[in-house]
């Protein structure tokens, strides 16, 4: 009899990860994943003992988008928990930062290790014992994200949640969360224009995918979108017979609230969350559909938390060290990140007792994204922010050191179990290809930047050691560290720097 610990569950789950070659084939369109995605997911669901109709019991709010879907989900979850404290509210999101169980939350708290491993092995064993398949192409075990989605469905049904917020993983129409026949309400957050280049799709194609979560007889909500994207979402809502298609209006008084999530871009996400929560509560309890912000909604918005997104954390062991964590990984999200970081709320805040503060950037990005375009966006936004806030300092000297490291957790080349990634090619990791591209891009964007202050490092642990060395070099100064470009990187920093208790 094999053991059934949390670590065992993580090891089993990691065996389901797609490798770099498989992901490259997916990007190149060399597989038929789209056409098979929903039928296969329904089949997996049946093999663990459920029908799609069973998922209607979860009372789902389904949320997608290319920007802000996670933040919108976090706001919606917090609003519902404050409006209905007696309820049991489930939240399913991705990716995780430090532990995979973060993806499945009940009333704001991740499943415990015991709960996760129990529900995980329920699903694993059912799939092992019921291997009958209708589609010959279907693998015996689903891939990583599909499996975790099945665990979430099983956990929420077993625990009897009153409401479930489901964040789409990728896309919408073919996502494994999109097998719920009748959610209560659906919503699409911002469609990022820069995703058209990253995903190789037009804005209309992206909107078609996202609008795939709209359902017959269910309200279909969205925020302001690029015209072609909006028209496609409207078309999809009509084609899929949504009960109504709503461009959410501005909520009076919302801009006066200090949101729990930093950044001006969060007000649009908060506005969508307010309307999703109101439509949900109206359907389930008769809550009025008006334009007010009741006190529980305000409390929910003020107390929302979404780690790793425009988050400020003072290091618990080093009070002179402050971490600024944001997993921005596209040009648009990096603009939002730099708008937040290069502001009086973050890096430009008044320094106590005129203490000198050094600034460090730790950055990584997914192989295939344009290093020059991403960093160019960041540098340009910093320059604009410094001018906006009347700072004479040039953008070229805003950071004192920049570190480009891999997402590998430890200096010995190993990953923390929950952070194991098979999606990076071994050659890229060995040669630090992406990191050298980033370093070259930084040098070309800022020629005067000292080359000995540009660091290419093989692991997150190496990066943290360098930060600690910089801190120790001057016992009077502070150090501000911005970590960005990858949520996986942010999660690794939280783990290695020992920030879990204060950041998560």
Task: Indicate whether 224 and 127 sit together in one domain.
Answer: yes
Laid out side by side, the sheet with 60-64 consists of 109-110, 104-106, 89-92, 163-167, 60-64, 185-188, 219-222, 244-247
For residue 62, say whether it is annotated as part of any ligand binding site. no
Tokens of 277: 């929560």
Q: Is 468 inside a domain boundary?
A: yes
Contact 44, 146 (CB under 8 A): yes
Q: Is 503 inside a domain boundary?
A: no
Task: Indicate whether 381 and 232 sit together in one domain.
Answer: no
**Is the per-residue pLDDT at 360 higher than 70?**
yes
Task: Indicate whether 17 and 36 sit together in one domain.
Answer: yes
What local confidence, expressed as pLDDT, does residue 28 receive?
Answer: 46
What local confidence, expressed as pLDDT, does residue 325 receive?
Answer: 97
Q: Of 256, 277, 303, at which residue does a domain stop?
A: 303
CATH code assigned at 338: 3.90.190.20
Residues 52-89 pLDDT 10s: 999 999 999 999 999 999 999 999 999 999 999 999 99
Task: Indicate whether 299 and 315 sit together in one domain.
Answer: no
**Is the per-residue pLDDT at 392 higher than 90?**
no
Contact 465, 430 (CB under 8 A): no
| Pairing mode of beta strands 185-188, 219-222 | parallel
3-state secondary structure 18-51: CCHHHHHHHHCCCCCHHHHHHHHHHHHHHHCCCC
Q: Of 303, 321, 347, at which residue does a domain stop?
A: 303
Confidence at 195, pLDDT banded by 50, 70, 90: low
3-state secondary structure 81-114: HHHCCCCCEEEECCCCCCCHHHHEEECCEECCHH
How many CB atoms are closer than 10 A to CB 137? Answer: 12
**Whether the bond into 113 is cis, omega within 30 of 0:** no
Range of the domain at 178: 6-303
What local confidence, expressed as pLDDT, does residue 30 receive?
Answer: 42
Contact 116, 128 (CB under 8 A): no
Q: Is 1 inside a domain boundary?
A: no
> Average pLDDT in the 154-183 region?
97
Task: Indicate whether 38 and 142 sit together in one domain.
Answer: yes
Q: Is 50 inside a domain boundary?
A: yes
Confidence at 196, pLDDT banded by 50, 70, 90: low
Q: Is 90 inside a domain boundary?
A: yes
Task: Indicate whether 287 and 331 sit together in one domain.
Answer: no
Q: Is 502 inside a domain boundary?
A: no
Residues 280-290 pLDDT 10s: 999 999 999 99
**Is the per-residue pLDDT at 417 higher than 80?**
no
Confidence at 183, pLDDT banded by 50, 70, 90: very high
What local confidence, expressed as pLDDT, does residue 198 receive?
Answer: 53
Residues 99-154 pLDDT 10s: 999 999 999 999 999 999 999 999 999 999 998 888 777 889 999 999 999 999 99
The values of phi and psi at residue 84, to 5°, are: -130, 70
- The more confident residue out of 2 and 449 is 449
CATH code assigned at 203: 3.40.1190.10
Task: Indicate whether 116 and 182 sit together in one domain.
Answer: yes
For residue 396, say whether it is annotated as part of any ligand binding site. no
Q: Is 422 inside a domain boundary?
A: yes
Task: Indicate whether 231 and 362 sit together in one domain.
Answer: no
Contact 250, 271 (CB under 8 A): yes
What local confidence, expressed as pLDDT, does residue 1 receive?
Answer: 43
| Pairing mode of beta strands 357-363, 478-484 | parallel
What local confidence, expressed as pLDDT, does residue 19 receive?
Answer: 55
Task: Indicate whether 187 and 335 sit together in one domain.
Answer: no
Query: 305-340: string of b/e by CB count within 10 Å (b at 16+)?
Result: ebbbbbbbbebeebebbbbbbbbbbbbbbbbbbbbb
Q: Is 322 inside a domain boundary?
A: yes
* pLDDT above 70 coverage of the chain, percent: 92
What local confidence, expressed as pLDDT, does residue 371 receive?
Answer: 87
Mean residue pLDDT of the chain comes to 91
- Residues 413 and 487: their CA atoms lie apart, in Å, by 19
Tell me the torsion sign for CA atoms 41, 47, 49, 51.
Answer: positive
Task: Indicate whether 384 and 293 sit together in one domain.
Answer: no
What local confidence, expressed as pLDDT, does residue 25 receive?
Answer: 47
What local confidence, expressed as pLDDT, does residue 27 receive?
Answer: 47
3 state DSSP class of 295: helix
**Is the per-residue pLDDT at 36 higher than 90?**
no
- Residues 120 and 48: their CA atoms lie apart, in Å, by 11
Residues 146-155 pLDDT 10s: 999 999 999 9
**Is the per-residue pLDDT at 199 higher than 70?**
no
How distant, in Å, are the alpha carbons of 135, 246, 261, 325, 369 from that of 486? 36, 32, 18, 10, 11
Tell me the torsion sign for CA atoms 136, 141, 145, 151.
Answer: positive
User: For residue 96, what are the contacts with CB-CB under 8 A and spacing of at least 6?
Assistant: 102, 103, 418, 491
Count: domains in the chain: 2
Task: Indicate whether 67 and 119 sit together in one domain.
Answer: yes
What local confidence, expressed as pLDDT, does residue 425 receive?
Answer: 64
Q: Which stretch of DSSP H or E encloses residue 321? A: strand 321-326
* pLDDT above 90 coverage of the chain, percent: 77
**Is the per-residue pLDDT at 422 higher than 70?**
no
Task: Indicate whether 82 and 214 sit together in one domain.
Answer: yes
- Residues 103 and 281: their CA atoms lie apart, in Å, by 24
In 372-500, at which residue ranges do the beta strands (DSSP E only) sit? Answer: 401-405, 454-457, 478-484
- The more confident residue out of 330 and 76 is 76
- Residues 194 and 369: their CA atoms lie apart, in Å, by 11
For residue 94, say whether it is annotated as part of any ligand binding site. yes
Q: Of 303, 326, 343, at which residue does a domain stop?
A: 303
**Where does residue 70 fall: left (phi above 0), alpha (psi -120 to 50 degrees), or beta otherwise?**
alpha
> Average pLDDT in the 346-373 region?
84
């Amino acid at each position: 009899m094999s053991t059934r610990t949390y670590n065992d569950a993580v090891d089993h789950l990691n065996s389901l990860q797609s490798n770099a070659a498989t992901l490259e084939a997916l990007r190149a369109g060399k597989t038929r994943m789209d056409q098979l995605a929903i039928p296969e997911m329904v089949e997996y669901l049946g093999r663990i003992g459920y029908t799609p109709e069973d998922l209607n019991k979860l009372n789902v709010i389904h949320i997608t988008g290319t920007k802000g879907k996670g933040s919108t989900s976090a706001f919606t979850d917090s609003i519902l928990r404050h409006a209905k404290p007696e309820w049991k509210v489930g939240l399913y999101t991705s990716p995780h930062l430090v532990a995979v169980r973060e993806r499945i939350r009940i009333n704001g708290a991740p499943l415990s290790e015991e709960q996760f491993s129990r529900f995980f092995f329920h699903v694993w064993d059912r799939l092992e014992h019921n291997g009958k398949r209708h589609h010959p192409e279907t693998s015996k075990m689903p891939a990583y994200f599909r499996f975790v989605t099945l665990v979430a469905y099983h956990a929420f049904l077993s625990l009897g949640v009153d409401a479930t917020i489901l964040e789409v993983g990728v896309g919408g129409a073919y996502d494994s969360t999109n097998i719920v026949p009748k959610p209560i309400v659906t919503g699409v957050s911002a469609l990022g224009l820069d995703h058209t280049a990253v995903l190789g799709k037009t804005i209309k194609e992206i909107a078609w995918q996202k609008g795939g979560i709209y359902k017959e007889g269910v309200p279909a909500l969205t925020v302001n979108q690029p015209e072609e994207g909006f028209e496609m979402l409207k078309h999809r809502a009509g084609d899929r017979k949504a009960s109504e298609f709503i461009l959410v209006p501005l909520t009076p008084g919302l801009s006066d609230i200090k949101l729990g999530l930093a950044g001006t871009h969060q007000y649009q996400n908060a506005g969508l969350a307010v309307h999703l929560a109101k439509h949900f509560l109206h359907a389930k309890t008769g809550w009025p559909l008006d334009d007010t912000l009741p006190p529980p909604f305000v409390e929910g918005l003020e107390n929302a938390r979404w780690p790793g997104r425009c988050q400020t954390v003072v290091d618990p062991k080093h009070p002179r060290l402050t971490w600024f964590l944001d997993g921005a990984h596209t040009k648009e999200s990096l603009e939002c990140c730099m708008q937040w970081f290069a502001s009086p709320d973050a890096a430009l805040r008044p320094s106590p007792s005129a203490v000198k503060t050094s600034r460090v950037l730790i950055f990584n990005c997914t192989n295939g994204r344009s290093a020059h375009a991403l960093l160019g966006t960041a540098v340009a936004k910093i320059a604009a922010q410094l001018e906006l806030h009347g700072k004479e300092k040039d953008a070229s000297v805003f950071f004192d050191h920049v570190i480009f490291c891999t997402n590998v957790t430890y200096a010995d080349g190993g990953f923390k179990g929950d952070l194991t990634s098979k999606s990076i090619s071994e050659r890229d990791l060995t040669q630090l290809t992406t990191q050298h591209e980033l370093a070259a891009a930084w040098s070309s964007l800022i020629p005067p930047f000292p080359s000995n202050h540009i660091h290419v490092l093989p692991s997150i642990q190496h990066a943290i050691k360098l930060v600690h060395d910089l801190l120790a070099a001057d016992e009077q100064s502070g150090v501000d560290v911005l970590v960005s470009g990858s949520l996986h990187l942010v999660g690794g920093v939280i783990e290695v720097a020992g920030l879990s208790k204060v950041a998560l």
